[in-house]
Amino acid sequence: MRQATFIGSEIYRGSRYGVRHPLSIERVPAATDLARLLGWLPRGRFRTSPMARPAALRAFHTAPYIDALQRAEAEGRVSEAMRLKHGLGTVSNPVFPEMFRRPATAVGGGLLAAELVMAGQGPVYNSGGGTHHALPDRASGFCFLNEPVLTILHLLRLGARRVVYVDIDAHHGDGVELAFSGSQAVRVISVHEARRWPFTGALGDTAGGAAFNLPVPRGFNDSEFALVLEEMILPAVEAFRPDAVYLQCGADALLEDPLARLALSNNAHFSAVAALRDLAPRLVLAGGGGYNPWSVARCWAGVWATLSGQEIPDRLPEAAEAHLRGLDWSRRGRPAPEMLTTLRDEPRHGPIRDEIRDGVRHFRSRI
């Protein structure tokens, strides 16, 4: 197996959107520390993320928006005009101390990931990436900068002729689809909860032929995900013959997440990583959504274990268990006991509903 690289940064530690925001929790540090405690992050596999410069961000975002974002961080406030024009200082995208540096670091990690995979150095996990809602001139859905778009553009700039973007976040990646609508070089595949914000990504939405959207019903389970992965995602990836694949692994599709109503176990994410790791000639992996600190930390640590070929233990060692017990979440209290002692969820199988089969058949005809 090609050696995998983990990209992270200390900027995520202590950086929160506000005490009442869903991102009042720490996610990247929780997953990173858990992976370290399990011995999965030796020095040679970890790279510190650089911070992308404004010039790099302008490959997708407008110069006035980048200037406004930097100014909001420097001044710690926004004007009403800036709020209305750029979506800064809202309930979803509030002003906080690292509001430019944190997303710019995520983008820097994505750009570094693109350079590493295109240089043949194996798959890369950009732990702070996956911010798929940001628009060219506007923050949206907790996302200030669209790291997936900027990373994919860099892959193309570095010589990739075709790139597939696969998104298994509970929310549709509207910003990515917008960026590559009508593209002949990028295929966008999204599996997301139906009738969930941002209310885009309908079954019939093809974005000029570039998009494969599968909105799924509440209670989407592991059996249904396995069918979608084997019969839709993998064939759609393989048929496009990509030079690189980007997988967005949002953890909000898991049963315990408060902002969605899907019912996956983290085994679904691990299976997607394993399948695409073996299929993709080059693979960039990122996080995304996820608003339960325990389910996110366990999922993203396990995603890294799968990518890097580590064995997930049946029972966590004491140090890893103590780490999970030390996480806090003022909104929801404590997790189920097994979320503190294990990393891999019990599978959450169930019946495969007709609407899932129908959606897969729809896409098989397109592929």
Contact indicator for 51, 101 with CB cutoff of 8 Å: yes
Which two structure tokens, joined as six digits, stand for 366? 């397109």
pLDDT of 135 strictly over 90: yes
Query: Is residue 280 predicted with pLDDT exceeding 70?
Result: yes
Average pLDDT over residues 273-277: 98
Show me where the domains of the chain are located.
Answer: 5-366
The pLDDT of 323-348, averaged and rounded, is: 92
The active-site residue, picked from 133, 171, 192, 269, is 133
Terminal Cα distance for the chain, rounded: 29
211-216 sheet: strands from edge to edge:
46-48, 5-8, 124-126, 283-286, 244-248, 163-167, 186-193, 211-216
Do the Cβ atoms of 244 and 284 come closer than 8 Å? Answer: yes
Q: Give residue 334's pLDDT.
A: 84
Question: Which residues on adjacent β-strands are paired with residue 48?
Answer: 8
Cis peptide before 198, with omega less than 30 degrees from 0? Answer: yes
Q: What pLDDT is attached to residue 326?
A: 95
Query: Average pLDDT of 319-346?
Result: 92
Average pLDDT over residues 293-302: 98
Write down the pLDDT at residue 1: 56
pLDDT digits (tens, 9 = 90+) for 154-194: 999 999 999 999 999 999 999 999 999 999 999 999 999 99
171: annotated active-site residue: no
The yes/no answer on whether domain 5-366 falls in CATH 3.30.420.310 is no
Average pLDDT over residues 240-258: 98
For the chain, the average pLDDT equals 97
Mean pLDDT of 234-256: 98
What's the mean pLDDT in 105-109?
A: 98
Confidence of residue 145 (pLDDT cuts 50, 70, 90): very high
In percent, how much of the chain has pLDDT > 70?
A: 99
Residue 2 has a pLDDT of: 76
Percent pLDDT > 90 in the chain is 97
Instruction: With cut-offs at 50, 70 and 90, classify the pLDDT of residue 331.
Output: confident
